[in-house]
Amino acid sequence: MTTINREDSSYRDHQSIVYISENRVFRKIKNNKKKDITTLLNSDFYKKNTNKIIETNFLQNSEVEKLDFKDSKDLDSCFWLEHKKLETIIYPYEMSFSQLKDSAVFFLDLYLEALENDFDLVDATPYNVQFVKNKPIFIDITSFEILKKDSYFFGYKQFCEQYLSPLLLQSYSNIDFNNLYMGNLNGIDLSIVSKILPFRSWLSYNCLINVHLHSYLNSKISSSSHKTKNLTKKKQMSIQQKKLLLKNLKNFITKLKNNKKTYWSNYSKENSYNDDEIKFKKNLVRKFIIDLEIKNVIDIGCNNGVFSDAAISSGAEFSLGVDNDTGALDDAYEMAKKKSINFLPLYLNLLNPSPSIGWLNKERKKFIDRFSKKFDGVICLACMHHICVGNNVPVNQFIEYLSKFSKKILLEFVPKEDPMVSNMLSNKKDIYENYNLNFFTNEIKKTHKILWQEKILNSERVLYALIKND
């Protein structure tokens, strides 16, 4: 029997605990929440939003008894739910601007609909919103409560720091939010954002109220004395006031744009390949997907998603793309939505990947722990030279890293003679005497079998199809 362990991140909510096995997700909830949850799951609101809220069912005590939970089952004081398990769990600092914006608008729409149906939400964090086939889905059932006549917007500060702050930094100041966010999993502090945003933000009603004034009041609360004691009291809001606030936030966020143009965001138009060469590489991607019967693929250095698109059109069922260029990722995400393909692009700097952070370094899991051995194949095109030449990572270590995701790899070697590598070496000392095709091939053969290799049309670049030795 598989032991079902407590999820490390499940400690903040004192009303419920999440447990995860290999294929199933469970939640133990205290009985004082039973009325809220029962009312929700039996409501028309939930039934008509099963595509927006995680599929959830009650677990009978007889079923719980049969399962090997590591902790106490507490059948007298708690009840149990089972959620549909998602294949991927991502964090807001791994999202592109457009993804985080869509997540925010989705949350606000869901919250407004909940209020219309006599439900409230006590959390407003993007960690509760995941993406399935590029459509957001809400995963925290226990955030819902039966609506009270007047109540505080408990998630307001949380929403502003975890949604609004990063979006404004990128939209108003052209600052990528990802690394700042990763440095503080609870979001980007309003006081920091208030200092960074340009003067024109003070002329925006929503920036003024939700960031600048909000930051000022928080600072007063933090240094509260008897003179500011009243500031610490939560202000109740009517339902209409809460709806108005949510609508204003939605209208404001909907209009935000990512104005930052990155070097690689125009890759499809400004790269060293012509149309014939791109077509040639796409055909090799198709050959890799079809010949090796790959269904789930990770695209390392996915850029605008052109090769993930080729993989999916060749029979792959899902592609997870990673890149550290936020402009290219926005392009990839918008392409995936437009074409309705199962391709999820994420922000990831291979040289500084998402780490294990939070309480006990376990609250948010590092990227490799979430996605190791989750794929049938790896696509890594026009990327290795950036890591190995641009940042001095040994070739054998890079190949080993790719192998953590899958035994099957499609890898592009870009030699020194290539214009991209020549540009890299123009401003640094060439310490790569052994960086050549023969050396690369010999390194591969130590750990992998070369299934085939193809020189790219009108280029010195070579694509290798590899499989790791048992």
Q: What is the pLDDT of residues 264-323, one digit of tens each?
A: 555 544 455 568 889 999 999 999 999 999 999 999 999 999 999 999 999 999 999 999
Judge whether 289 and 376 are in contact, CB under 8 Å: no
Residue that the structure tokens 């490799």 belong to:
368
Q: From CA 305, how far away is CA 387, in angstroms rounded? A: 19
Q: What is the pLDDT of residues 377-431, one digit of tens each?
A: 999 999 999 999 989 999 999 999 999 999 999 999 998 888 888 888 878 777 7
Q: From CA 116, how far away is CA 105, in angstroms rounded? A: 17
Q: What is the pLDDT of residues 430-464, one digit of tens each?
A: 777 788 899 999 999 999 999 999 999 888 899 99
Q: Is pLDDT of 209 > 80?
A: yes
Q: Is pLDDT of 48 > 70?
A: yes
The stretch 77-95 carries a mean pLDDT of 96
**The pLDDT of residue 240:** 92
Q: Is pLDDT of 226 > 50?
A: no
**pLDDT exceeding 90 applies to what percent of the chain?**
76
Q: What is the pLDDT of residues 348-362, one digit of tens each?
A: 999 999 999 999 999
Q: From CA 158, how far away is CA 217, in angstroms rounded? A: 15
Q: How confident is the model at residue 232 (pLDDT cuts 50, 70, 90)?
A: very low
Give 145 or 274, the one with higher predicted confidence.
145
**The pLDDT of residue 192:** 95
**The pLDDT of residue 264:** 57
Give the bridge partners for 238, in sequence order. 150
Give the bridge partners for 39, in sequence order. none
Residue 48 contacts by C-beta under 8 Å, 6 or more apart in sequence?
none
Q: Is pLDDT of 217 > 80?
A: yes
Q: What is the pLDDT of residues 250-279, one digit of tens each?
A: 999 999 999 866 655 555 444 555 688 899
**The pLDDT of residue 436:** 87
Contacts 24+ apart (CB under 8 A), 251-259: 252/204, 252/206, 253/101, 253/104, 253/105, 253/108, 253/163, 253/164, 253/167, 254/105, 256/101, 256/167, 256/168, 256/171, 257/171, 258/97, 258/98, 258/170, 258/171, 258/326, 258/327, 258/330, 259/171, 259/174
Q: Is pLDDT of 65 > 60?
A: yes
Q: Is pLDDT of 10 > 50?
A: yes
- Residues composing the chain: 470
What global pTM score does this model have?
Answer: 0.92
Q: Which of 232-246, 260-274, 317-331 has the highest mean pLDDT?
A: 317-331
The closest alpha carbon to 111, from 93, 138, 84, belongs to: 138
Q: From CA 406, how far away is CA 296, in angstroms rounded? A: 10
Q: How confident is the model at residue 43 (pLDDT cuts 50, 70, 90)?
A: very high
- Mean of all residue pLDDT scores within the chain: 91
Give the bridge partners for 346, in sequence order. 322
The stretch 173-198 carries a mean pLDDT of 94
| Domain range list for the chain | 5-42+51-83, 92-255, 263-468
Q: What is the pLDDT of residues 146-181, one digit of tens each?
A: 998 877 788 999 999 999 999 999 999 999 999 999
CATH class (in words) of the domain with range 263-468? alpha beta
**The pLDDT of residue 44:** 97
**The pLDDT of residue 231:** 46
